[in-house]
Amino acid sequence: MTRAFLSQWESLHRQCVAGAALCLLVFLDPGFASCQTENPPSESVAAITSTPQGCSKQVVTVEPTANGIADALNERGLAYANRGELSCALEEFNRAIQLRPGLSTLFDNRGMVRGELGDIDRAIDDFREAIRLNPENAVAFNNLGSAYSRENDVGRAIENYDRALALRPKFPEVYNNRSGAYLSKGDLADAIHDCKEAVRLKHHYVEAHYNCAIALVDTGDRDGAISEFDQVIRLKPEFADAYNSRGSVFSAKGMHERAIQDFDEAIRLKPDFFMAYYDRALELYGIGEHDRALEDFSMAILLKPDCFQAFNKRGNLFAEKGQFDRAIRDFDEAIRLQPDYADAVLNRALAVQRKSGHEQAAGDSVRTASLP
């Protein structure tokens, strides 16, 4: 499922504060140009030209006041966040907050960056402060809900999504995020309602279509799920997860060739996609293509060495090939990774038994051949 933190600006490119003595030139890509104010200031100063080590260079002119500098720092922090330079963005928001500690937006934006950096507790503190400073900040309520979702506190997540929607009823991202929260607690009808509402408000909303597909899978509506995955793939053909998920639904319907085609495409788009290798291996195993399945289980293990299920499945394949030592080694590793994994314990016992029987049978054959 997809949940998103949202900045106060839906687009971080080519922005100026209208009427303010502020203009920002950000070197994001070759086609990026500086924004222009309609009434440039008669007097401005070059400011904030130094950047944290390792970050992209920025050129900013601002009105020489604390508020003007804080606004410029905020804009630059958003630009850094947009291009993935999160540590740089965090430093800019920290500096902006020192200058304007009463501006809700700054705390919300810093919380967004902290959330992306995995510092969820401090992100929650920032979102709460943003809401304290501006109780009508719907974006901050959404972001607080997303942070609680990351902490698996679904009740608080939904409570904050509800408050965001009360303030801003036509907020498709919140409907999508709340659908993910409902899905995680098993409220499938509410999840489907919310993601459909998100799509109604925001046509071609890829993440909402995807969440809806996942919810429909859980309801058992495989055809409906495939239809939603089709929409996702039409809108975003490079979305590897959608191919893999649709492949799993085709597999459940017994459409093995279509399933493998989707797993193939997912791997083509994302060559290090562990789950696609694992799912394709299961499919190949199921239709009797054991050599190819063995290769895929081995790749899945290479990509995710702690996947005890993959070791167990590969061990079964080795056992079926009569390679009992290799099978037992895989079952040993599966049990080491998951000591209470009953399937692997049973499979190892069977492999040891079969190996012993095989060796006994081989010995008997030799003795029989030597008899007169």
Q: What would the two tokens of residue 269 be? A: 């788009």
Q: What average pLDDT does range 272-276 have in this prediction? A: 98
Cα–Cα separations (whole angstroms), residue 340 to 3, 147, 237: 33, 33, 41
CB 181 within 8 A of CB 145: yes
Residue 12: which of 65, 78, 64 has the closest Cα? 78
Number of Cβ atoms within 10 Å of the Cβ of 140:
32
Q: How confident is the model at residue 61 (pLDDT cuts 50, 70, 90)?
A: low
What total number of domains does the chain contain? Answer: 1
In a domain, 179, yes or no: no
Residue 58 maps to a domain: yes
Does residue 216 form part of some domain? no
CA-CA distance, 84 to 210, in Å (whole number)?
Answer: 24
Band of pLDDT at residue 356, cut at 50, 70 and 90: confident
User: Is residue 71 situated within a structural domain?
Assistant: yes
Residue 199 covered by a domain: no
Pairwise CA distance, residues 251 & 352, whole Å = 32
366 within a domain of the structure (yes/no): no
Residues 168 and 161: beta-carbon distance below 8 Å: no
- In the chain, the percentage of residues whose pLDDT exceeds 90 is 77
Domain that holds residue 9: 1-35+43-169
- Beta strands across the sheet bearing 22-26: 22-26, 58-62, 45-47
- 8 A C-beta contact, residue 208 and residue 202: yes
C-beta of residue 369 within 8 angstroms of C-beta of residue 359: no
How high is the mean pLDDT of the chain? 84
Q: Where are the alpha helices (DSSP H) in the chain?
A: 66-82, 86-99, 104-116, 120-133, 138-150, 154-167, 172-184, 188-201, 206-219, 222-235, 240-252, 256-269, 274-286, 290-303, 308-320, 324-337, 342-370
DSSP three-state, residue 158: helix
Q: What is the pLDDT of residues 201-238, one digit of tens each?
A: 999 999 999 999 999 999 999 999 999 999 999 999 99
The per-residue pLDDT for range 9-56, each reduced to its tens digit, is 333 222 222 222 222 323 223 222 222 223 322 222 233 333 444 444
Of 215, 218, 172, 234, which is closest to residue 197 (Cα–Cα)?
172
Q: Is the pLDDT of residue 360 over 90?
A: no
Where residue 75 sits, what CATH number does that domain have? 1.25.40.10
Q: What was the pLDDT predicted at 357? A: 72
Instruction: Determine contact, residues 65/47, Cβ cutoff 8 Å.
Output: no
* Other beta carbons less than 10 A from residue 175's beta carbon: 26
In a domain, 127, yes or no: yes
Q: How far apart are CA 121 and CA 108, in angstroms?
A: 14
Residue at 309 is within a domain: no
What b/e string do you get for 202-224 counting C-beta neighbours within 10 Å, with b at 16 or more?
beebbbbbbbbbbbbbeeebbeb
